Amino acid sequence: MSKRILIIMAMAAEARPVIDQLGLRELPANPQLTSHFPRFQGEFAGKEIVISLNGKSTEYGVDRIGTEFAALNTQSAIVELAPELIINAGTCGAFSADADIADIITSDQPVVYHDHRVPLEGFDRFAMGAYPTAYCPEYFQGIEHKLGVVTTGNSLDMPDIDRQWIRQNQGMAKEMECAAVAATAHLYGIDFLPIKSVTDHIDIELDNVEQFLNNLSKASQKLSETLIRVLTNIN
């Protein structure tokens, strides 16, 4: 039987190149879910692949980025598809000393939150989280990539307190979904792997939003190429 791999992605623009390059077909909306998550399915390299998007907000017309919809998307896809591996693919910010634009970051260390601060015994560690990844060097054989901590929060900007947390936790990829997807995968005992491509440098003057928009297409193309090579390598 072929391995079932679920890929969770927040933004349609991040996912378009890989959906096209893998020739995935959109699944019909699930009638039980009033606000469904767009899903694309196909076979590739002997694996069954489903890409599930967070979808667009009906109220605001934009992609439902961030942790809440990432967790809901992941859980509903797990229940419907019973995947054996979950990949969260997307874009991220990074410090300029760590990575260039469009560089690929994955992780062999637990995924954390940088904006869940609860200074109470026990709750502090629960809030920050530490969700395991299933990194295997063979998956990235021949693929240029960096290994670092992926750190999640619900803002695109970086106030000083978030910066401190990210530095303290050796964060390398700053983004908005990964810990939520990893936590959901962990809840169901399913292997989890992050793959992120850098759209912006979080330590330089140019506004993150402007950088993000300038680099989104380049980073998404690199993400697609990398995903296809990783999917090929996975056994």
* Catalytic residue status for 84: no
* Catalytic residue status for 14: yes
Binding ligand SAH by CB under 6 A: which of 49, 102, 202, 227?
Answer: 202
The answer to whether 88 and 8 have CB atoms below 8 angstroms apart is: yes
Residue 138 or 213 having the CB closest to ligand SAH: 213
Asked whether position 52 contacts ligand SAH by CB under 6 A, the answer is no
Of all residues in this chain, which one has the CB nearest to ligand SAH in the complex?
93
**CB neighbour burial string for 84-123, b if at least 16 within 10 angstroms, e if fewer:** ebbbbbbbbbbbeebbebbbbbbbebbbbbbbbeeeeeee
The answer to whether 115 and 175 have CB atoms below 8 angstroms apart is: no
Asked whether position 15 contacts ligand SAH by CB under 6 A, the answer is no
Torsion of CA 191, 212, 26, 229, to 10 degrees: -50
Residue 3 or 56 having the CB closest to ligand SAH: 56
| Min separation Cβ 63 and ligand SAH, Å | 6
Asked whether position 161 contacts ligand SAH by CB under 6 A, the answer is no
Residues 81-120 that bind ligand SAH (CB under 6 A): 90-93
Which tokens belong to 118?
């609860």
Compute CA 33 distance to the chain's CA centroid, rounded to the nearest angstrom. Answer: 22
Task: Compose the 128-157 pattern: x for residues touching ligand SAH by CB under 6 A, - for all others.
Answer: ----------------------------x-
Q: What are phi and psi of 200, to 5 degrees?
A: -155, 150
Q: Tell how strand 191-201 and strand 104-106 pair up.
A: antiparallel
Cα(105)–Cα(146) distance, integer angstroms: 5
Binding ligand SAH by CB under 6 A: which of 98, 103, 115, 175?
Answer: 175
Q: How many residues sit close enough to ligand SAH to count as binding (CB under 6 A)?
A: 21
Catalytically annotated residues = 14, 200
| Residues at the site binding ligand SAH, with contacts judged by CB under 6 A | 10-11, 62-63, 65, 90-93, 156, 174-177, 199-200, 202, 208-209, 212-213
